[in-house]
Amino acid sequence: MSTFAPKKRFSQNFLTDPGTASRIVAAVEAVEGDHVIEIGPGTGVLTQRLLAGRLSRLVAVDVDQRAIDHVVAQPWAKNDRFRVLHSDILKVDPAMACPGVPANHVKVIGNIPYAITSDILFWLFDHRRTVSRAVIMMQREVARRCVGQPGTKEYGILAVATAFAARAKVLFHVQPGSFFPRPDVTSSVVLFEFRETDPFDVDMPAYMNFVRAAFSQRRKVLSNSLAEWCGRTLGVSIRDLARETGPFDLARTRAEELSPEELYRCWKDLADKAGRA
């Protein structure tokens, strides 16, 4: 049990099971030369095990000053390879936290606050050029959405964004009894291996705006769900674009039926048609 009370506003559920902690640390595969950023060290159950390994530097980031104070007071924290950063992880630039370190040697680990899981994942995706590998514990339902396949209820915006940025794999599940306080949900540990180059030559923010629009009314066909996006972003009516022959029948196809690659081709096709309009 922790030596300071978890705060609900920080969405804190501290991992207490040492076996699970060891499995998570092993999955990040930190070796000599690696700099690891830990999101939310909490009571230090992962931190201590990371410092027992061969990594070159560990940067623990926590918005809760109590967690920082607790961790640095531990005997094992007296280590030249360790430093802490009192900050919101979403405001941290991994390149600044690990200056001069090649991208293939920056890794991220964390039992993250479940209330901001999506924000943290998109933060990771934005920094995919700096971070090579991440091992993240999250709510099982969100983990399923990260690796969701077309045609399933789990497939959506998060699955498309994940596929664009990384190769993701659910490693194992963690039961509520492994935490204090005990959460109401089962957790999952997910491995992200970030791509050295993007699978498509694409402006990711612009592409993700399209994806969000496509899934905004997921039970509707694309000619309906993309109508507002077409007018606002491309400046043309989707009916005009749909008249042209193309690889996708927007009046018969839903976003959930298309793979990430097909969604990309659909986006490019619409943008190209709008450019010719």
All domains in the chain, ordered by first residue = 8-194 (3.40.50.150), 204-276 (1.10.8.100)
In whole angstroms, what is the distance from residue 125 CA to residue 161 CA? 8
Q: What is the mean pLDDT of residues 106-114?
A: 97
What is the reported pLDDT for 245? 47
Question: According to the annotation, is 88 in a ligand binding site?
Answer: yes
In this predicted structure, the answer to whether residue 276 has a pLDDT above a threshold of 60 is no
Question: Binning pLDDT at 50, 70 and 90, where does residue 246 land?
Answer: low
Question: Binning pLDDT at 50, 70 and 90, where does residue 95 land?
Answer: very high
Residues with Cβ within 8 Å of residue 167, at least 6 apart in sequence: 192, 193, 195
Question: According to the annotation, is 224 in a ligand binding site?
Answer: no
pTM: 0.93
What is the reported pLDDT for 221? 95
Question: According to the annotation, is 126 in a ligand binding site?
Answer: no
In our burial notation (b when 16+ CB lie closer than 10 A, e otherwise), range 182-203 reads ebeeebbbbbbebeeeeeeeee
Q: Is the Cβ–Cβ distance between 193 and 203 less than 8 Å?
A: no
What is the reported pLDDT for 244? 62
Question: According to the annotation, is 111 in a ligand binding site?
Answer: yes
